[in-house]
Chain A
């Protein structure tokens, strides 16, 4: 069994954080990995930084952009049996981030793992609150709960081959995918020791428009209408 990992990073104007993200990924203890950077028409130095760290660069235009599609084309461009997804503005905290997600795939039935997300010292109070209350300290093996978060996650490529992210929805593609996977009696693991810093948090400082969009998609997922 090989455990190589394709790391897929979605980015749009992430120059502020991207070098820290890629620097941390490149120093992982888990050596067998490749990095795919899916750039959505960045106008800053995102592309230059990606090339400097040896990423395979994929572009997606604004016209074509969709959160799911960006991930799908990034995953398709890689070849490793495991796929890690991390946002361009997330920074793995230490050198065992990949290894501590990959270890769970030795257990059959595990389809996906997501890790803990922590705020940075200057994250907004609402982001700190959301991250600290969402991502706890205990490991969870989810057999019914389909909460899953692609800002810091890993999935099996063979499952994605059959079940790519749903391009008919805009955002929350992680939970839509997780619900379907759990419906196939797979498990999703929350691993608190696979940690990243996420400056913006998961709710983007209570942005109302974003909240409304996320709620619309989650309601569709709940009703199996995606």
Chain B
């Protein structure tokens, strides 16, 4: 993911899996490697720009799109789709055919439901997309939906670390979410394997010995029942106690 800031936050220490870029609004002094907003088909495109942004309201300006298609030299173009209907969108695609462009949705001033509706549509297309917003909540939702780019158009106290965490979970390589909050919420309420009657050291665990219990101390998850059956106990266990890996001899005994 890349996040483009007009004014970067104070703490821009490196965050895993996240690049930081500079966003330059139309009419401002250009900066090398920036995402530069373009609003007129008459203006020359800065050679030092890394990417171009067609802002909200101009996505249907076909002359502007044509200008970018002819002069962007393969650089990425963000095209705001705000306000475009199906036919206008189709016409824009036609003009940009052969160019490197992705859809941008400007989420500023959008109510919550409209924003979620657009986000869902963008995600359903299974293609890269970008979101522009100064709201941390909207940026976090965009990260969760798998946005490849975020644009923060002016000063905003965005928490990069939080966005990175959410973006990582949205990625294909991440594991199922486990967080300290989730673990604390579950503490003392998780199901574990236990025994229905007292079992002594050295005895073998049989299927009908086992039951599922709730104990403040987490033990072996119930899905491990198949692994546990047939194992000898290194230590005795009473009803109500959770069964742990430490109870099991793993077939080794005391060497």
On chain B, the residues within 8 Å of A193 by CB distance are 183, 187, 218
- Nearest-Cβ distance from residue A28 to partner chain B, whole angstroms: 10
On chain A, the residues within 8 Å of B203 by CB distance are none
The answer to whether B219 touches A94, judged by C-beta atoms less than 8 angstroms apart, is yes
Interface of B, helix, strand, loop or mixed by DSSP: loop
- Nearest-Cβ distance from residue A1 to partner chain B, whole angstroms: 4
- A30-B175, A193-B183 given as contacts; is B245 within 8 A of A92 (CB)? yes
- A30-B175, A93-B219, A94-B245 given as contacts; is B161 within 8 A of A108 (CB)? yes
On chain B, the residues within 8 Å of A16 by CB distance are 252, 254-255
Binary flags per residue of A1-38, CB closer than 8 Å to B gives 1, else 0: 11100000000000110111011100101101000000
The answer to whether A99 touches B178, judged by C-beta atoms less than 8 angstroms apart, is yes
The answer to whether A120 touches B246, judged by C-beta atoms less than 8 angstroms apart, is yes
The answer to whether B248 touches A23, judged by C-beta atoms less than 8 angstroms apart, is yes
The answer to whether B252 touches A1, judged by C-beta atoms less than 8 angstroms apart, is no
The answer to whether B252 touches A100, judged by C-beta atoms less than 8 angstroms apart, is no
The answer to whether B161 touches A107, judged by C-beta atoms less than 8 angstroms apart, is yes
The answer to whether B164 touches A108, judged by C-beta atoms less than 8 angstroms apart, is yes
On chain B, the residues within 8 Å of A22 by CB distance are 250
On chain B, the residues within 8 Å of A32 by CB distance are 175
The answer to whether A49 touches B252, judged by C-beta atoms less than 8 angstroms apart, is yes
On chain A, the residues within 8 Å of B221 by CB distance are 29, 94-96
Stretch at the interface among B9-17, B101-109, B120-128: B9-17
B6 within 8 A of A: no
A143 within 8 A of B: no
The answer to whether B168 touches A1, judged by C-beta atoms less than 8 angstroms apart, is yes
Q: Which residue of A lies closest to B252 (CB)?
A: A19
Q: Which residue of B lies closest to A118 (CB)?
A: B246
On chain A, the residues within 8 Å of B164 by CB distance are 1, 106, 108
- Chain B interfacial positions (CB closer than 8 Å to A): 13-17, 160-161, 164-165, 168-169, 171, 173-175, 178-180, 183-184, 187, 192, 218-221, 224, 227, 234-235, 244-246, 248-252, 254-255
